[in-house]
Amino acid sequence: MSAHTILLDFTVDPAKIKDEAQITILTTNIENVFRSYVKNLKELYRLKLDEGILKIYSCDSEAVVNLRFYNNGLITINIEYYTNEEKDLLFPFDKIKTFEQELSERVNGILKSRALVPIKRSVYPHYFPTSDERLLEYDIDKIVFEEKTKFQKVQILHSKSLGNMLVLDDLQNISERDVIYTDTIMKRETENYKDKEIVILGGGDGALLYELLKENPKEVLMFEIDDVVMKACSKHLRTLCGDVLDKMSGPNYKILVSDCLAALDGYIEEGRKFDYIFGDLTDVPISDDPELWSFMEKVLQKTFKVMKPDGKLMTQVCGAICTDALKKYEDLLEKQKPKVKFEKTKAFIPSFMEDWVFGFISFDNSE
């Protein structure tokens, strides 16, 4: 059950829609094509705008059609309707393409046309953004878990191709297909975690903790502020986290429901140092918001104070397409004292549907 929005774009020579008579001819041709697909097409509203004309129609199928002419030659047609069953689609995509072709043939002067796959609006969220805010469509068919906590909206959604996927505040975080995320942030088969002391900042999905424990570390301490995330993932993302979230501690690990910055302050005061610290928190900001960058700087400064001289910060950064944000992050690292070295790599993450940058930061002991 969902509302379907169909978008069609046409472009004509602006000279062909410069007066009312030409627009009337075009409108009549478009309406005639519509009538071969729907019954009782009825004009509801017409509005003259500075940049063109807008016309709104209804029909027996309860579809609403917006037809808009722009002075620059762009013609847009938006069709919206609701259906209870996918088999009862008023305009399946193959029919949309035929409809587009008929319109192109009927309307003289068309230079180009394009029909987009229908946008579906239903109880299941289908669309999520890339890191640079482009729209991606997912094959979500079930809401497995959903709860609003005092920190965020927590969801586990099921995707036909990705399996269960953790979504926080409407942003995809990790899916059952995303083992590459954990492998990359760990630099699997490159770093040696045996007998090492490790801190995870965030990581509530449990995937990183689960994989690190396979490497026989001396101790892993994980700080996650939202226990609802851990409970949801323990039940619904077990292919990623195994059973490590079932208990708050084990022979060589401990999970603490805590603000990671407060935890770092405690270790700074204690004078404790670690071999590895994993930053599995929020992405590097893609905006210039000073508050977000201030938080990022606090995390870095506190982290470096609890790293051993040969320790490393292993962190996720941002989408590879966000070059400005990445550059600003690198500039921030260059200002740190003591001086640090920044190595980066990237990997394609299935649930993100894009390349993601990971950073590995250590002290520059060359001087």
What is the DSSP code string of 36-104? TTSSS-EEEEEEEETTEEEEEEE-TT--EEEEEEETTSEEEEEEEEEESSGGG-SS-HHHHHHHHHHHH
**Residue 82, Cβ density class (10 Å: 0-12 exposed, 13-18 middle, ≥19 buried):** middle
Q: How many CB atoms lie within 10 A of CB 344?
A: 15
Which is catalytic among the residues 280, 283, 310, 364?
280
For 207, the token pair is: 């995937």
| DSSP class of 14 | G
Active site residue 324: no
Contact status, residue 31 vs residue 44, Cβ threshold 8 Å = no
For 238, the token pair is: 């077990």
3-state class (DSSP) for residue 168: strand
Q: Which residues are catalytic?
A: 280
